[in-house]
Structure 1
Amino acid sequence: MAGKFEVYADKSGKYRFRLKAGNGEVVATGEAYESKSAAVKGTQAVQRAVEDAKLVDLTEKSAS
């Protein structure tokens, strides 16, 4: 099963999103947005960003 984004209203009435893996586990959450449309745009920004994202391991010491 593929992962999915969920957009929801939090307790303060702001909108947030979470990314769930196929097994239902939450793997990422977004910040609070004033509008639902802004939260949806946040999910779209994440989708665009991950297309070409690389893993940077900050635990490894650089050779420089």
Structure 2
Amino acid sequence: MAKFEIYTDKGGEYRFRLKANNGQAILASEGYKAKASCTNGIESVRKNSQDDSKYERLESKSGKPYFNLKATNGQVIGTSEMYESVSGMENGIASVKKNAPKADVIEI
């Protein structure tokens, strides 16, 4: 089952990552000072993940495709891993669309 994992980074900030059924991380958040803000970020992912226009398709300096998911206000709420191909990136977006709305939330 897909899941959002909430964890604390080395700097003491809260972050989340969305993991697919196979355990692979498909979306990661920025750091949040408050756990409530992190939880709000997850809800924003759930809400915005179904709107294709909220996905910003990008290319890294090394030429690898990746994407950002943006909120209604234009703020980035999640960033993907780097992919080897555009088709891989599109599969990642499809996975977020499929998994985010019903993924469980766990704290680790």
- Which structure's residues are more often strand, by fraction? 2
Give the TM-score of the pair, scaled to structure 1: 0.77
Which AA in structure 2 matches 1:14? E
Question: Higher relative contact order at CA 8 Å, sep ≥6: structure 1 or structure 2?
Answer: 2
Structure 1, residues 17-40: CA drift from partner, whole Å, max 9, x if none?
000000111111000000111001
Which AA in structure 1 matches 2:49? V
Structure 1 equivalent of residue 30 of structure 2: 31
- Which structure's residues are more often helix, by fraction? 2
Q: For residues 25 and 31 of structure 1, what CA distance do their matches in structure 2 show?
A: 18
Give the TM-score of the pair, scaled to structure 2: 0.47
**Number of residue pairs matched?**
58
Tell me by how many angstroms 1:56 deviates.
7.7
Q: For residues 42 and 25 of structure 1, what CA distance do their matches in structure 2 show?
A: 20
Q: Provide structure 2 residue ranges, at least 5 long, that are not aligned to the other structure.
A: 59-85, 87-108
> How many percent identity over aligned positions?
40
Larger Rg: 1
Q: Provide structure 1 residue ranges, at least 5 long, that are not aligned to the other structure.
A: 60-64
Q: For residues 29 and 21 of structure 2, what CA distance do their matches in structure 1 show?
A: 18
